A and B are shown apart, each in its own frame.
Chain A
Amino acid sequence: MDDEPRGGLLDQSGMEITNLPERGFLRKLADWASAKSMWILYYCTGCGAVELPPVMTSRYDMERYGMGPMATPRQADLLLITGYLSVKTLKRVVRSYEQMQDPKYVLGHGSCTIDGGMYWDSYATVKDVGLYVPVDLYLAGCMPRPEAILQAVERLQGMIMDGTADGWMRYKRDYKFYRENQDKVFKRGPDWALEEPVLK
């Protein structure tokens, strides 16, 4: 596992990120704790949700990794997007993502999040979630089996401990890029909160 190339090292333009901030001992310890206690916010659209109950329950037992479902974005660390997003639901995903507390991670689960999957030619679905929210790790498959989900979790844990799961930093740094893409898809009403904290 350890010799494999890991994702998250490239920024949106395909450039390798070399200016990762130095991490002190305490920050490394906090990252270790983040990796060992990832609380999940499910964004269960479509068929993706079907593969998660086996992961949670006794057969595969996700809690071994310290993971568990959380009720609200405020409490969660990992946004799990399981399946395709329509133009309408993307707004909710972005909103949930912005309500989460840093550091936060996104796992794109299933082929739909990568290129639209079987909905590749639909006018109403989002083809690449990574254009709108920073995805740390994609998990291909239609749908991925529980074993694949657990492998992705282990990979993400490794990335968090390395400090390479830096999607939340990219979202702040490249906010203009994400914001432009989001604005192409949906309109923001006057009630759209959290505009300022993200820009800060």
Chain B
Amino acid sequence: MAWSTTTWVMAALAPIIVFLAGHLFMGITRKITARIHRRRGPPVMQQFIDVFKLFGKRTSTTHSWVQDMGALFAVIGVIACSLFIPIGGDPVLSFQGDVIVLVYLLAIAPLGMALGTGSTGNPNSAIGVSRGLMLMLAYELPFAIVIVTIIVHFKTASLGEIVEAQKGFLDWAILSLPLSAIAADLALQGMLGEKPFDQPVAPSEVASGPMVEFGGKYLGMLMIWHAMSVVVEAGLFVNLFLGGGVLFGGGTTLALIGNIFVWLALTLMVFIFSIFINSVFGRFKMGQALRFYWGFPTLIALIGLSIAVLSNLGVF
């Protein structure tokens, strides 16, 4: 299948959009968190300044080439993810089953980071990595059930077609599958690593966990990874449940640009919702997080799945 010009342009633009939006979103949410704390907060562009500073550092300690590769792995993994996400309803890479590929790809970047941090030999990073993998084990269960529910409901495993099926506002999956949407949003909280699920990077417990030995350019890479993964993960929620931001039809370039902005606005809203929870909660212990995820979210995800299956069979 030959790519159209729009697809080529989007292939080049998607990582850039995700990069810029990620850093902007982090800046906006830092400001919002500050306002919740009754502070003024940093400038909105602070995240860009931080990353620029880290890349401007004269020295960056590395422990082995595995650490170099691990940082690259994380950034490349998230760039690959950004090509699978339909930004404004137009995915660059789209085929039957790409949702499942994406779920696997989302795990690639954290595993890359785990590889890099494991090579530094710091005990804190080992604890951080094991906490991160345990947390992944916890939230992946409800999230996987939600993905199956979506596939059953729309009878397709292609993100592009899932977005296509939610054209009208009333077709949004958040209205037809509200229980699954709640389960997915709870899983998203852990995926984004916001409180109460920020055990892997808990600064006061494990000295920022996986990042403990990362300084200078290496930390800059991880910050880019984190900012981009926020957009990819919140954007995945928008694509699955909020119609993928497709507001303008017609398929013109202008409509696509409009849809991209709508998608970004929805993604920001989902992320801000997560930040609201983040700024008023404390941190769960690891066991509490595991027990939480395998309890309530898994239960309502299962109920959502049975509702989707039963309505497919024509029971109601």
The interface of chain A, by Cβ under 8 A from chain B, is 26-27, 29-31, 33-34, 36-37, 57-58, 61, 63-66, 69-75, 77, 99-103, 197
Contacts and interface: CB of A to CB of B under 8 A. Distances in A.
Q: Closest 6 A-B residue pairs measured CB to CB?
A: A30-B56, A74-B215, A33-B53, A71-B208, A102-B58, A61-B39
A2 B34 CA distance: 30
Contacts of A34: 53, 56
Nearest to B214: A74
Contacts of A63: 30, 34, 39-42
Interface in B159-175: none
B206 to A, nearest CB: 8
Contacts of B211: 71-72, 75
B117 to A, nearest CB: 12
A102 B217 CA distance: 11
Given A58-B38, A63-B42, A102-B57, 11 more contacts: A33-B49, A33-B56, A34-B53, A37-B53, A63-B30, A66-B42, A73-B215, A74-B219, A75-B211, A99-B61, A197-B59
Interface string B20-62: 0000000000100010011111110010011011001111110
B207 to A, nearest CB: 4
Contacts of A65: 42
B258 interface: no
B212 interface: yes
Interface in B197-226: 203-204, 207-208, 211-216, 219
26 contacts: A26-B56, A29-B56, A30-B52, A30-B53, A31-B56, A33-B53, A33-B56, A34-B53, A57-B37, A61-B34, A61-B40, A61-B41, A63-B34, A63-B41, A69-B203, A71-B203, A72-B211, A72-B215, A75-B214, A75-B215, A101-B57, A101-B60, A101-B61, A101-B216, A102-B57, A103-B58
Given A37-B49, A71-B207, A64 B40 contact: yes
Given A37-B53, A102-B58, A103-B57, A71 B212 contact: yes
B58 A101 contact: yes
Contacts of A75: 208, 211, 214-215, 219
B50 A58 contact: no
Contacts of A73: 215
A101 B46 CA distance: 20
A31 to B, nearest CB: 8
A20 B104 CA distance: 52
Contacts of B52: 29-30, 33
Instruction: Pick the most buried of B46, B52, B53, B212: most chain A CB atoms within 10 A of its CB.
Output: B53
B37 A37 contact: no
Contact of A58 (B39, B59, B203, B208): B39
B210 to A, nearest CB: 11
B40 A102 contact: no
Nearest to A35: B53
Contacts of B213: 72, 74
A64 B42 CA distance: 4
A71 B215 CA distance: 11
A103 B56 CA distance: 9
Contacts of A77: 53
Nearest to A56: B39
B222 to A, nearest CB: 10
Contacts of A72: 207-208, 211-213, 215
Contacts of B214: 74-75
B119 to A, nearest CB: 14
B285 to A, nearest CB: 19
Contacts of B60: 101
B257 to A, nearest CB: 31
Contacts of A99: 61
A103 B57 CA distance: 6
Interface string B56-94: 111111000000000000000000000000000000000
Contacts of A30: 52-53, 56
Nearest to A39: B50
A28 to B, nearest CB: 10
A70 B41 CA distance: 17
Nearest to A200: B59
B297 to A, nearest CB: 30
A159 B58 CA distance: 18
A111 B213 CA distance: 32
A34 to B, nearest CB: 5
A134 B41 CA distance: 31
Contacts of A101: 57-61, 215-216
Contacts of B203: 69, 71
